[in-house]
Copies of this chain bind each other. A is one copy, B any other.
Amino acid sequence: MRSTNKYWGFIKDPIHGYVRITDFEKKIIDTRPFQRMRRIKQLAATFLVYPAANHTRFEHSLGTMYLAGILGEALPIGLNDGSVAELRLACLLHDIGHGPLSHLFEPLLSKYANKTHEDMTNWLIDNSVISDVLNRGGFETKRIARLAVGRLRDKDSPYLDQVIRSAVDVDKMDFIVRDSYHTGAGYGYVDIFRLIYTMDILNNNLAVDATALSALEAFLLARLESFKAIYFHRASRAAQIMLLKAMEQAKDELGILDFSTPEDYLKLDDYSIWHMLKQCEKSKLIMEKLENRKLLKCVYEKTFYIKDQLVTSIFDNEAVRKKIEGEIASKAGIEKDLVTIDVPSLPSVPYHYAIDFDPMNIPIFSKNNKGEKKPLQITELSKIIDSLRVFINIVRVYTEDLHRNKVQKASEEVFGKAPLSSLVSY
Contacts and interface: CB of A to CB of B under 8 A. Distances in A.
Given A186-B190, A210-B425, A305-B383, A376 B55 contact: no
A175 interface: no
B426 A214 contact: yes
Contact of A35 (B276, B293, B386): B293
A10 B212 CA distance: 13
A366 B425 CA distance: 9
A271 interface: yes
Interface in A23-66: 29-32, 35-36, 38-39, 41, 47-48, 50-52, 54-56, 58-59, 62
A270 to B, nearest CB: 7
A270 B59 CA distance: 19
A184 B55 CA distance: 13
A54 B51 contact: no
A20 B190 CA distance: 19
Given A56-B54, A214-B426, A291 B11 contact: no
A381 B424 contact: yes
A218 B211 contact: no
Interface stretch (A107-115, A154-162, A165-173, A221-229): A221-229
A221 B293 contact: no
A421 interface: yes
Contacts of A276: 275
Given A14-B184, A271-B274, A424-B366, A214 B210 contact: no
A420 interface: yes
Given A18-B194, A18-B197, A35-B293, A421 B376 contact: yes
Interface string A208-220: 0011011101100
Interface of A: 10-15, 17-18, 29-32, 35-36, 38-39, 41, 47-48, 50-52, 54-56, 58-59, 62, 181-187, 189-191, 193-194, 197, 210-211, 213-215, 217-218, 221-222, 224-225, 228-229, 270-272, 274-276, 278, 291-294, 305, 366, 374, 376-377, 380-381, 383-384, 386-388, 390, 419-421, 423-426
22 contacts: A13-B184, A15-B52, A15-B184, A18-B193, A18-B194, A31-B292, A32-B291, A32-B292, A38-B47, A38-B51, A41-B54, A186-B190, A186-B215, A211-B424, A213-B424, A213-B426, A275-B275, A275-B276, A366-B424, A383-B390, A386-B387, A387-B387
